[in-house]
Amino acid sequence: MTPGGADGARMGALLAAPRPASGRLWLTNARLFDGTGAAPRDGAAVLVADGAIAAVGDTGDGVPEGARVVDLGGRTLMPGLVDAHAHVYPHLPTPPPGAEPLWPGVGSHVLGAALRDALRMGVTTLRDVGSYDDLVFEARQAMRYGAFRGPRLLTCGRIISATAPGGRWFTGMYREADGPDDVRRAVREQLRRGADFVKVMTTGARSVELEDPDPAQMTVEEIETVVDEAHRMGFRVAAHAEGLDGTRIAIEAGIDTIEHGMYLNQRPDLLERMAASGQVLVPTLSCFYGVAGAAAPDGDADSDGGSAADLEAPPTWSLLLVDLALHNLEQADRTLKAARAAGVPIAAGHDWAPIADLGVEIVRMARHGLGAREALVAATSTAARALGLADHVGTVEPGRLADLLVVDGDPLERPALLRDPARIWLVLQLGEPVAGAALERDPVGVAPSSPQPAR
């Protein structure tokens, strides 16, 4: 069975999808960026039928029989954004002195609001690569039964880690396991919980002072056992991979996605191996910017003239970790360029908060060597491929689910438009208009018009 399932039928993320919109929808007069890497084209039109893309054509083709019409006015129509690396947990406020303590259930509401915000910004699919306790499973089930709308949500359950210092920092996020038998059991536990994929810590984490990226955190046999058991059951594997030793083992073991991997520029042979095997790199530039905070360089200017330093709060991390983040950012820049040159598939993953701001990672990937078109592909079709969902989302092609985004302007010219709520004109989820500035300004005007006669 192909990792991820032959057709994704067992994925909790797909089982929890809301009901698709019924009927036919004709999205016309669009500038189409289809996510495949092809150049955008004007005057495009897309037919949506019962929540899926039925046809891609031209405005001049005429309105298909029975279809309701939405005129996009030349705006950019593209796939919904896919974030391949998100930590989906609530960032809770700290009550001021004297205020009542937070009730235990407040986190669920805060997380629900964050997921709604992500959908509002065009993020229609999120891969959770580590959160606390069971909130992600609870939120996904709540969305399944109509409590609120949010992105399609994949989760790994608990991250599989060796017994290590990180377990003290991330209580409720890790499942520590030692030895092949315990590791195999840990994989099975996550699948039992409803995980869509498995994540393993092949190295320590840069966000923990007591952990060093080298040596590998787990043995070759332990890592190979994770891959063997997950792939045997038809599920994909993601590797937290920072130091070169653990990254090498992850690649050689056949792990599907390499998260971070910032030192790979020092091992061109490993990049060549990834390119040959189709293993995906998720470079996560924003986590390095986030830890570095105001110390981050300003070379990552966005298209509005701001700088990366403007985008982050002052450093709140230890000086050791800030210095490490600056070094890792330099290495990640080199690796992104080297991976692109080697032909490694590259997917976008924000790896920071808020989860709604995948746009900043797209801006940074464009500035660090991909260019706007490749960065948008990384956040659509390649990210969908990384998740094992390429047959479902990530491109505007017949047969794909109608998770679509309409942007007021051209994000290929200005990727930073994807960070501006006013420019997120319309978001469709399974063909249903669910969010966007147009709905907020004029819900009736953006609603599909009456069916038009066929021409």
Each residue's pLDDT tens digit, 396-415: 999 999 999 999 999 999 99
DSSP 369-423: IIHHHHHHHHTTHHHHHHTT-TTTSSS--TTSB--EEEESS-TTT-GGGGG-GGG
Cα→Cα distances 21→17, 41, 416, 431, 455, Å = 12, 26, 30, 5, 24
Residues β-bridged to residue 41: 32
How many CB atoms are closer than 10 A to CB 140? 25
**Single-letter amino acid, residue 87:** H
Query: CA–CA separation, 283 vs 277, rounded Å?
Result: 18
CA nearest neighbour of 186 among 224, 221, 157: 157
What's residue 446's pLDDT?
73
108: nearest Cα among 132, 83, 82: 132
Q: For residue 117, how far is the Cα from the chain centroid?
A: 14
Percent helix, strand and coil across the chain, each rounded to 5? 35, 20, 45
The answer to whether the beta carbons of residues 425 and 406 sit under 8 Å apart is: yes
Instruction: Tell me the mean pLDDT per 10 residues along the chain, length 455.
Output: 50 93 97 97 98 97 95 98 98 94 95 98 98 96 97 98 92 96 98 97 90 92 98 97 97 98 98 98 96 77 41 68 94 98 98 97 97 98 98 98 98 98 98 97 70 50
* CA–CA distance, 260 with 242 (Å, rounded to integer): 6
End-to-end CA distance of the chain: 45
Helix axes 371-378, 358-365, angle to 10 degrees: 140
Extract the tokens encoding 125: 């699919």
C-alpha pair distances (Å), 140 with each of 12, 126, 197:
8, 11, 15
CA dist 299 and 330 (Å) reads 11
Q: Is 192 strand, coil or helix? A: helix
The confidence score (pLDDT) of residue 301 equals: 41
Nearest to 127 by CA among 161, 156, 149: 156
Residue 307: what pLDDT? 39
Joined together, the tokens standing for residue 351 give 């790896």
How far, in Å, are 109, 113, 150 from residue 96 at the CA level? Answer: 20, 22, 30
- Between CA 82 and CA 91, with CA 85 as vertex, the angle to 5 degrees is 105
Contact 65, 26 (CB under 8 A): no
- Please, which residues have CB within 8 angstroms of residue 319's CB and are 6 or more apart in sequence? none
Q: Please, are residues 173 and 159 in contact by the beta-carbon 8 Å criterion?
A: yes
Q: Which of 82, 107, 73, 52 is nearest to 397 (CA)?
A: 52
CA 300 from centre of chain? 21
Residues in the chain: 455
pLDDT at res. 455 = 41
H or E element, residue 281: strand 280-282
**Helices (runs of H) and strands (runs of E) counted in the chain:** 16, 17
Tokens for 253, please give them: 């073991």
Give the SS3 label for residue 84: strand
pLDDT in the model for residue 452: 53
In single-letter form, the type of residue at position 209 comes to E
Partners of 78 in beta bridges: 405
Angle at 427 between CA 19 and CA 28, to 5 degrees: 100
Amino acid 212: pLDDT: 84
pLDDT tens-digit map of 77-99: 999 999 999 999 999 999 999 99
Nearest Cα to Cα of residue 325 among 367, 294, 299, 346: 294
Which contiguous run of DSSP H or E holds residue 232?
Answer: helix 220-232
